[in-house]
Structure 1
């Protein structure tokens, strides 16, 4: 599955638009990560536990987007965008969306 944040896939021709596809995941913080984050707020530095959590969340949301696109018969998703939001105290959502298409070599 080709994934592009542009409206085109370089070197490919879009032959069919299949519509909007999306993927999301909601993750909660881990108590141990919260304690370490509190210490980092005092001393400064990267919150590596949260960085890993966000990376895993993005990967899972992209996987779900790809599965939905594949179900429609797509071989690419264009104009992909990410969004985040707070769902509840300590939990947030990563949402990814784009347009499922079929592309061919030029």
Structure 2
């Protein structure tokens, strides 16, 4: 599956547009990670526990978006973006979204 953040894919032609696709995941921070992160927050610097959690969430959101695009018959996703938000005090949502298309290599 080709995934790009642009409207077009160089050397490819869009043959069909299937529509928007999404991949969503919601992650809750665990108590143990919250405690370690709180101590790190007092010291300053990167809180690797949260970085790792959000990186995993982005990967899962993209994977789910690809599954949805594949089910529509797409072989590419254009204009891919991420969005994120908080739900409550310890949950984060990550959404990957774009437009599912079928492309063919230009001759």
Equivalent position of 1:73 in the other structure = 73
In the alignment, structure 1 residue 5 sits paired with structure 2 residue 12: no
What is the RMSD computed on CA atoms of the aligned residues? 0.7
Q: Distance in 2 between matches of 1:78 and 1:88?
A: 32
Question: Structure 2 matches for 1:46-85, cutoff 5 A?
Answer: 46-85=46-85
What's the TM-score once normalised by structure 2's chain length? 0.96
Q: Distance in 2 between matches of 1:30 and 1:52?
A: 13
Corresponding pairs, count: 106
Question: Structure 2 matches for 1:32-43, cutoff 5 A?
Answer: 32-43=32-43
Deviation at 1:53, TM superposition (A): 0.3
Q: Distance in 1 between matches of 2:79 and 2:40?
A: 36
Q: Distance in 2 between matches of 1:54 and 1:64?
A: 15
Gaps of 5+ in 1: none
Q: Distance in 1 between matches of 2:57 and 2:44?
A: 24
Runs of 4+ with deviation above 2 angstroms? none
Gaps of 5+ in 2: none
What's the TM-score once normalised by structure 1's chain length? 0.96
